[in-house]
Chain A
Amino acid sequence: MDIENKILEGSPRHLARAISMVENNSPQKEEIIDALYPKTGNALIIGVTGSPGSGKSTLVDKILKNELKKDQKIGVIAVDPSSPFSGGALLGDRIRMQKHSGNPNIFIRSMASRGHLGGISAATSDVTKLLDAAGYNLIIIETIGVGQTEVEIIELADIILLTMAPGMGDDIQAMKAGIMEIGDVFVVNKKDKDGADKVKKELDYVLDIKYHDNPENKNPIKMVSALNNEGIEELMNSVYNYINKLKKQGKWEDKRKTKIKKELKKIFSKKIHELMDIHINYTEKLDDWVKLLMNKEEKPYSLINKELKSFIKESEIL
């Protein structure tokens, strides 16, 4: 199809169109992604995550400024939440990066989460493939402002910058499971503010416990002030050093393999889910099932197992 060639030629208009098709789950989606798939795998994908207001967008803006010196083509995907009420969204991350919008080497796309939980949107993974195939060799994904469990970015990014700012909890917060475990490089932003040193010390303390037996693997912690453009070059140097270390340890390959595995699992279960919906039509049956359970005429596992059995028997797909 024509659109794939235009994307490979570097047309921003066609790239943007294809992103919408992927986002809207349009019928051409699978064809486009598969056609471009052989051209993917060249980009470094950096995920930037952290709580709302920790300075993710401002940090991305300054990373863009720093990385542009290296003659790269950079794609940014900035995800913000959709309203659970209207379905609309106010996509505001871009405002902080807008000074780059005239630069032909930068492509910024805002995405709404569209009901997807996990800190990104369902289409984000495919959108990185489009940017990758279009020749963007650095892709930065900014997640929505996250809490403790929105960790899906690990399935997309090669490396994760976890952004923190002073005033957001003590060292016990930092020891909990979830978001604190997924950072590759920890960024203490707003270093000019009171309490920034304390955040760094607490992180040090927690990571020292975690890597007690192998301190050489301890994650870097960098203090920056994104707003004042301080510490960014040093941060990016430590990001690249960290990547080189992973490559030397053979962990880079493993990371990419795990990503592909998770992606295939996701596509597989999504397809099965769609098939089930077509064959059992369970969205429609659901109300009847609820009645059966309310009246205690059925039990949840027995009911579903029974339905599944009849689905397998009746359908010719398995």
Chain B
Amino acid sequence: MSDKKIRILIGKPGLDGHDRGAKYIARALKDAGYEVIYTGLRQTPQSIVNTAIQEDVDFVGLSLLSGAHNSLFPKIVELLKENDAEDIIVFGGGVIPEDDIPNLKKQGVEEIFTPGTPIKDVVDFIESKREKVGK
């Protein structure tokens, strides 16, 4: 009998030292029944991608409050592609201006959640991709 679980990596790229939001999301996704791995603070894009590959996650959720999302988020999408792991779905959250969102999506970030998003929206997003990730 097969028993597939959705696995999600929550990553904190760059030099941003605030992870209350990331921890909140990690905990809430655990409570929603997913297996969640958290990287801890101050990760390079490369270490997030290596972790995503080793942990064979279905999603990478990036949390960023420093303002560097326009360079770091697409960089991670690109590195996943370089490592033949473009099937891993990337989403992001944090203090991200509305104006930046279309461009991030164009560069392969599937969804962006801004402050105040109810956790249900994040879970709905993940569930909407369940078939796509084969779980």
Q: A residues engaging B (CB < 8 A)? A: 12-13, 16-17, 19-20, 23-27, 82-83, 85-92, 94-95, 98, 101-102, 107-110, 112, 114
Contacts and interface: CB of A to CB of B under 8 A. Distances in A.
Given A12-B54, A16-B54, A107-B54, A88 B38 contact: no
Nearest to B48: A101
Closest 8 CB pairs of A and B: A95-B40, A16-B56, A88-B30, A86-B33, A90-B30, A88-B33, A101-B47, A20-B56
Contacts, number: 93
Interface stretch (B1-9, B63-71, B89-97, B105-113): B1-9
Given A19-B56, A90-B30, A13 B2 contact: no
A111 B4 CA distance: 13
Interface in B33-84: 33-40, 43-44, 46-47, 50-51, 53-56, 83-84
B85 A13 contact: yes
Given A16-B54, A27-B2, A90-B30, A98 B36 contact: no
B5 A95 contact: no
Contacts of B98: none
Contacts of A112: 5, 35
Given A25-B1, A98-B40, A114-B3, A86 B54 contact: no
Main secondary structure of the interface of A (DSSP, over half): mixed
Contact of A94 (B7, B30, B32, B51): B51
B2 to A, nearest CB: 5
Contacts of B3: 24-25, 114
Most chain B beta-carbon neighbours within 10 Å: one of A90, A107, A114: A90
Interface of B: 1-5, 7, 26-27, 29-40, 43-44, 46-47, 50-51, 53-56, 83-85
Contacts of B32: 86, 88
A101 B51 contact: yes
A89 B34 CA distance: 6
A122 to B, nearest CB: 10
A88 B31 contact: yes
A16 B55 contact: yes
A88 B53 contact: no
A90 B47 contact: no
Contacts of B50: 12, 101-102
13 contacts: A13-B85, A17-B56, A24-B2, A26-B2, A86-B33, A88-B30, A91-B35, A91-B37, A98-B51, A102-B46, A108-B54, A110-B35, A114-B5
Nearest to B52: A16
Given A83-B30, A102-B47, A109-B55, A89 B36 contact: yes
Contact of A88 (B35, B44, B47): B35
B54 A102 contact: no
A85 B34 CA distance: 12
Contacts of A13: 53, 83-85
A15 B105 CA distance: 30
Nearest to B31: A86
Nearest to B84: A13
A14 to B, nearest CB: 10
Contact of A98 (B27, B30, B47, B53): B47
B1 A89 contact: no
A91 B5 CA distance: 13
Nearest to A13: B53
A23 B4 CA distance: 8
Given A24-B3, A25-B1, A95-B38, A87 B51 contact: no
